[in-house]
Chains A and B, each alone.
Chain A
Amino acid sequence: MSRARSLVLALVAVGASACAHWPVNPPLPDLKVDPEHGYRFGKMTTPARKDDTMVIVSFSGGGTRAAALAYGVLEKLRDTKIRGGSSDLLAAVDVVSSISGGSFTAAHYALYGRDGLPRLRERFLDQPKTQLRLALSTLNPYNAIRLLSPRYSRIDLAAEYFDKLLFDGATYAKMPRDAPYTMINASELDIGTYFSFTQEQFDPICSDLEKVKVARAVASSSAFPILLTPLTLQSYGGPRCGYKPGEWFDLANQDLLLNPRRFRFRSDVNALMNENRRFLHLVDGGVADNIGLRGPFQALTSPDTLQMNDSDPVAGFSVPTMINNGEIKRVVVIAVNARTVSELKHDKRASTPWVVPVVANVAGAPMGNYSFETVTMIQEWMNSMNAQISTANQLIAACPDCAKQIDLESSDVRYHFVEVAFNLLPESEQAHFNAMGTNYSLSKQNVADLIDAAKRILDGSKAFEQVVKDMQ
């Protein structure tokens, strides 16, 4: 009898596991790309469409540490009055780009707005047992059976958990179009580049983002390799739905030497459109860019976008295009970087470090270095743009007649870069934050300290002070 029972149980388990499948992202309606359909920049009514300032905020990875630091920045922006006190800086934010832990704050803010901030703190930030509960959910017999399926894995379970915890089943169809354009970034495992959850990015794979749950975007963005499995998306093959990138796509093929970044961007899009790429496997956004600035950098420096070209009314996300069309006179980038610096640990001892810290450091060091280079690159680029403008102004001041031949009106754009990072705090405080791990189990006190630190960093930032002054 017991044998028969166990056999039945085994059969049920096999059946249940066979039925378990990750939620398939659907194809575009009628498998036809519509340049005006879905969550895309051109369909947003972000503040930049009303004023002349483009404000981009990026939230880095780093578990709850990053989410809390990002939360503190949002609160500080909300409390910073601009335009003579008639508005605040949070209302001026046009784009939020996020990675991993920062994606919880970004997605929640996009869905629930400023009124939802206390909800985020209560349900997520101030829940030190989130990680434990997530781990325990794998032990649930129902989940354990589902996890036996090769088509259902820990990341799908995590997405379900985050959905119940924070997002209440919201899909991208529910993402407000008058909120900041939110780019939740993951990394494509094979291509090795960032992958944003926007319809512009879903067009090349002919899939409809509107029916994808926001929680799955957040889960893939924070799918830390090995701890969590990659999240799978189905690709329906770009050319099959009529998708073709703009004219830049063919021209960029000649630019390997002239502009290698442009050539690489083209190659990545081409790889994404490959009809033989039937699935995408997404891992933590931090693998490709742990600061969340690669997507915005592409938009800041190039008119090349994934938006289909033959749709004039709907433009892609390109800052130069907006500048050329006279929509923008000021660009502000606020980079929230929750990166910690490793403390003196292994170098105190002569003994060989254990394998786990070695693997962690080997994985973490390149990510940290790459983030540093990304921040430096964007900062230097913005400085060079400002330098060109000031040089031109100096020339005009010295030679008023030259002004007739120089058109500064259309290229007179001011760039501001503000960084929020622990190394901007007094040195005595940095050790406290550097000791905070990358997980979902920070104490309430640590969360409060992080929120407070974000506000104090901005208070002490001259760059931030200049932004506020300029936007009065």
Chain B
Amino acid sequence: MEFVRVLFPTSRKVRIDGTLNGTTNKTLQVNAGTHRFTLDGVSNYSPPSILRAVTGTTNLFPLTLQFVPLVGTATIVPETAVLEAPAPQAPAPAATAPGGAARRRAQAKKKVKKAKTAKKARPAAKKKSAKKVSAKKVSAKKKSAKKSTKKSAKKSAAKSKKKGRK
């Protein structure tokens, strides 16, 4: 007899070779051989199924398989998109779902793309903001120059008045 634990964040019914067999996060019994593991109900998890050759396990060291939830989606993945792990030649004591890594890689690619597009967008914005800032500075300088000329004119007028009185 072989032992398998199907990991998932919540409790879901597990199907082994299409038949309902216990729930996630519990140790399940199967015969040695090639089995397909899926979760019952809505297909909002990844990978859609895990195909594994189960052998060499004990109840203390069950084969561990992992499904991850697809957050914010409720898509039913078509049969052609089924990701399957190849049946290993040697007994594998534990494994994680390969689809999870693929998904993570795809997410990482998206992030990189976003970062690139953000970089491209940044210089233009900088130029615009720089123009605005320089324009403001110029106008401020002009204003301060006008003020200073007015002040100096007033000062010189006051001096000439004082001289005239003397």
Contacts and interface: CB of A to CB of B under 8 A. Distances in A.
Contacts, number: 107
Interface in A320-352: 320-321, 323-326
Contact of A252 (B5, B22, B33): B33
B157 interface: no
A31 interface: no
B123 to A, nearest CB: 53
A392 B20 CA distance: 26
A306 to B, nearest CB: 12
Interface string A299-337: 001111000011010011010110111100000000000
Nearest to A248: B17
Nearest to B5: A407
Contacts of B59: 388-389, 392, 406, 408, 411
B55 A258 contact: yes
Contacts of A303: 16-17, 19, 21, 29-31
Contacts of A321: 19-21
Contacts of B28: 324, 410
Interface residues of B, number: 30
Contacts of B60: 388, 391-392, 395, 406
Nearest to A319: B29
A409 B33 contact: no
A176 interface: no
A271 interface: no
A251 interface: yes
B53 interface: yes
Interface size class of A (residues with CB under 8 A): 35 or more
B34 A325 contact: no
Contacts of B34: 251-252, 254-255, 258
B12 interface: no
A301 B32 CA distance: 9
Contacts of A318: 19
Given A247-B18, A303-B16, A407-B5, A262 B32 contact: yes
Given A407-B5, A407-B26, A407-B27, A251 B32 contact: no
A326 B34 CA distance: 23
B21 to A, nearest CB: 4
A336 to B, nearest CB: 25
Contact of A410 (B20, B22, B33, B51): B22
B58 to A, nearest CB: 6
B33 A324 contact: no
B31 A410 contact: no
Contacts of A385: 1
B30 to A, nearest CB: 6
A324 B21 contact: yes
Given A301-B1, A391-B60, A262 B31 contact: yes
A303 B21 CA distance: 9
Contacts of B22: 324-326, 410
Of B20, B21, B51, B55, chain A has the most CB atoms within 10 Å of the CB of B21
B67 interface: no
A302 B14 CA distance: 16
Given A247-B18, A388-B59, A320 B31 contact: yes
Interface of A: 246-248, 251-252, 254-255, 258-259, 261-262, 301-304, 309-310, 312, 315-316, 318, 320-321, 323-326, 381, 385, 388-389, 391-392, 395, 406-411
Q: Which 8 A-B pairs have the closest CB atoms?
A: A324-B22, A247-B18, A320-B29, A255-B33, A259-B33, A410-B26, A302-B31, A248-B17
30 contacts: A247-B18, A247-B19, A248-B18, A248-B35, A251-B33, A251-B35, A254-B87, A259-B31, A259-B33, A261-B31, A303-B16, A303-B19, A312-B20, A315-B19, A315-B20, A316-B19, A320-B31, A321-B20, A324-B26, A324-B28, A324-B29, A388-B60, A389-B59, A391-B60, A406-B60, A407-B5, A407-B27, A410-B28, A411-B27, A411-B29
